[in-house]
Amino acid sequence: MIIGIPRETFAGENRVALVPDAVSGLVALNSEIIVEPGAGTAAGFADTDYTECGAQIAADRDEVFARADVVLQVRTFGANPEAGRADLALARSGQIIIGASDPLTAGPQLRELATTGATLFAMELIPRITRAQSMDILSSMATIAGYKAVLMAADALPRMFPLLMTAAGTLTPARVLIIGAGVAGLQAIATARRLGAVVQAYDVRPAVKEQIESLGAEFIELEIDAGDSEDAGGYAKAQDEAFYRRQREELAKVAGQNDVVVTTAAIPGQPSPLLITADAVRAMDPGSVIIDLASERGGNCELTCPGETVVEDGVQIMGPLNLPAAVPNHASQMYSHNISIFLRHLLGEEGLQFDMEDEITRETLVMRDGQVVHPRIRESDSEGGH
């Protein structure tokens, strides 16, 4: 089996799908690894690092796709709709492509890719079950994003995070509010606490209170009933507008007491819930900072502009995109581990095998033999009028 690693072409994407350390393990499984020149450079991995671990460096991208039985990417065409279009002419029938695909929102791109006859596995669809934790790219990349978000806030805030008692006086610690206590939120809490901030956190799911408090943060309980707030995968469920309206009112009071707000609330395949209104922003002190990690789906803050920094009444609202790519070395290591374990999961004694009775295989298989086969994606595509 030949595994191809092309260079990522999405603007600002500095990660690579497979790091050199993962090459030797796959070579030991009778796999041949072929890497596009410079594929790992932006993440700190030279071509010689790959060859020393047993990989080959291809002449160009065309050779990677022409020879590879399996192509591993950070962003497949679904998650790279502009620059990734050039790969449609390179993909072929029977070839297997594995990577992030934005499968719940990239219907047109998925249909185009299906015309090549390639088979696609979307890593975002890894089920949240115990035996799939080592393959979960969403959790891995959320860890990076939560960490980086707090560093961005600390850099932008016109004060330091920790309590300092100096000869020049006592400096009070910064106050940080984390909204959403999933993987990104919990990592943001831990990072802010390590920097010395006083941290509060809110999540619609009461079950995460213990996790929040174990990291040294105060769990904020709002006087609103969320009912059944968590789905089978552990994600927060979407609520009705009356709930969100009441939630916004309560969060505005808490946000105004903090110097930094980091929002992480996202619902897979849906727009991000609006949690911080423009009025809530204006009630914050000048110099305060909001980092909206949900900006790619519209944002949790009413004033968020994805990919930009907006200033309103002295408050900075940042809507960073693709934060894991800003920490490409470790993000690539984590992603590479996830995708390598997934590939090993597909490998049987006779090569790649698609056991459709297996939940991990079944839930991640998006297309095969020119057809989109994932029921959830076909259903969402049909509802979109296609």
The residues assigned a catalytic role are: 128, 133, 136, 139, 235
How far apart CA 30 and CA 16 sit, in angstroms, is 22
How far apart CA 309 and CA 305 sit, in angstroms, is 7
Q: Are 200 and 176 in contact (CB under 8 A)?
A: yes
Q: Which residues are CB-contacts of 244 (< 8 A; sequence separation ≥ 6)?
A: 273, 274, 275
- The burial class, CB within 10 Å (0-12 / 13-18 / 19+), for 383 is exposed
How far apart CA 288 and CA 259 sit, in angstroms, is 5
Distance, C-alpha 144 to centroid of its chain: 8
Phi-psi region of 349 (alpha: psi -120 to 50; beta: other; left: phi over 0): alpha
Considering all CA atoms of the chain, what is the largest pairwise distance in Å, rounded to the nearest integer? 71
Q: How far is CA 192 from CA 79, 150, 200, 286, in A?
A: 30, 6, 10, 20
Q: Are 310 and 292 in contact (CB under 8 A)?
A: no
Whether the CA torsion 235, 238, 239, 244 is positive or negative: it is positive
Question: How many Cβ atoms are within 10 Å of 268's Cβ, its own excluded?
Answer: 14
Residues in the chain: 386
Distance, C-alpha 152 to centroid of its chain: 17
How far apart CA 145 and CA 189 sit, in angstroms, is 12
Q: Are 126 and 151 in contact (CB under 8 A)?
A: no
User: What one-letter code names the amino acid at 170?
Assistant: T
CA proximity to 64, closest of 45, 50, 79: 50
